[in-house]
């Protein structure tokens, strides 16, 4: 089974570990470039993108992560993780950087104060007919997608909340807290395919 890293600088690392291990993957907490070099896929958890960004630079992980993404490492970002995969972040704090890789513009904290968190049943055709029960917590919205980006799900008002581009997958919400493992299974299939094609 593939070794899947979880970027463990800040955020809901444990929840991702539980889901991935439940699906039969081995996991490794990634805080250093040496650990990143060992994994065949990486999850960037939800948490606070500004903190993960700063810590990744302090830990010397930003450039290795950008290089790994450019080399085709499968990466799945949830919420803060999606923000970190976006080429452009709107409403970031001053000096906020992302790893990038996805040709998207993402707005942080896009739902405003009235709706800091909410749940919704989302249609996600690529995962089958059953909707995904999604938990949104101070969530971002994808405001622009480039030509190479596939929209996997949007809210009824059109707000894009799940996207995929090549080996990169991102969701505004947290499937890891909702008990639905289909997004992680979808990601693991991508990790396994990329391991096979490299062999």
Q: Which is nearer to ligand GLN, 18 or 109 (CB)?
A: 109
Note whether 133 binds ligand GLN by CB under 6 A.
no
CB nearer to ligand GLN: give 29 or 138: 138
Which listed residue (79, 94, 143, 186) is catalytic? 79
Active site residue 174: yes
According to the annotation, is 1 in a ligand binding site?
A: no
Retrieve residue 194's tokens. Answer: 């990329």
- The structure tokens listed for 16 are 């991702």
Annotated ligand binding at 144? The verdict is no
Decide if 85 contacts 99 (C-beta within 8 A).
Answer: yes
Determine whether the annotation assigns residue 56 to a binding site.
Answer: no
Q: Which of these segments, 29-37, 47-55, 119-127, 144-152, binds ligand GLN (CB under 6 A)?
A: 47-55
Rounded least distance, CB 71 to ligand GLN, Å: 25
Residues 90-119 that bind ligand GLN (CB under 6 A): 108-109
The yes-or-no answer on residue 26 being catalytic is: no
C-beta of 101 vs 194, nearer to ligand GLN: 101
Q: State yes or no: is 79 an active-site residue.
A: yes
- Residue 17 labeled ligand binder: no
We find the least distance from the C-beta atom of residue 151 to ligand GLN, in angstroms, to be 20
DSSP secondary structure of the chain: --EEEEE-SSS-HHHHHHHHHHTT-EEEEE-SHHHHTT-SEEEE-SS-HHHHHHHHHHTT-HHHHHHHHHTT--EEEETHHHHHHEEEEESPPTT------EEEEEETTTTTGGGSEEEEEE--GGG-SSPEEEEEES--EEEEE-TTPEEEEE-TT--EEEEEETTEEEESS-HHHHT--HHHHHHHHHHHHHHHHH-
Binds ligand GLN by CB under 6 A, chosen from 13, 68, 83, 104: 83
How many Å apart are CA 84 and CA 50, to the nearest integer? Answer: 9
Active-site residue among 15, 16, 17, 174? 174
The binding site for L-glutamine comprises 47-49, 108, 137-138
The residues of the shown chain that bind ligand GLN, judged by CB under 6 A, are 46-49, 79-80, 83, 108-109, 137-138
Query: Which residues participate in catalysis according to the annotation?
Result: 79, 174, 176
């Amino acid at each position: 089974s593939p070794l899947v890293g979880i970027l463990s600088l800040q955020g809901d690392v444990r929840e991702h570990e539980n889901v991935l291990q439940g699906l039969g993957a081995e996991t490794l907490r990634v805080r250093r470039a040496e650990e990143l070099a060992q994994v065949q896929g990486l999850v960037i958890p939800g948490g606070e993108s500004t903190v993960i960004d700063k810590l990744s630079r302090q830990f010397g992980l930003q450039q290795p992560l950008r290089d790994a993404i450019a080399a085709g490492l499968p990466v799945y970002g949830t919420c803060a993780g999606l923000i970190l995969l976006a080429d452009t972040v709107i409403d970031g704090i001053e000096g906020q950087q992302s790893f990038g890789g996805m040709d998207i513009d993402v707005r942080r904290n896009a739902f405003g104060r009235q709706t800091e968190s909410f749940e919704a049943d989302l249609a996600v055709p690529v995962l089958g007919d059953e909707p995904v029960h999604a938990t949104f917590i101070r969530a971002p919205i994808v405001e622009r997608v480039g030509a190479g980006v596939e929209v996997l799900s949007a809210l009824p008002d059109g707000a894009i909340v799940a996207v995929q581009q090549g080996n990169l997958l991102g969701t505004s919400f947290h499937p890891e807290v909702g008990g639905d493992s289909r997004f992680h299974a979808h990601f693991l299939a991508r990790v396994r395919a990329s391991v096979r094609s490299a062999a």
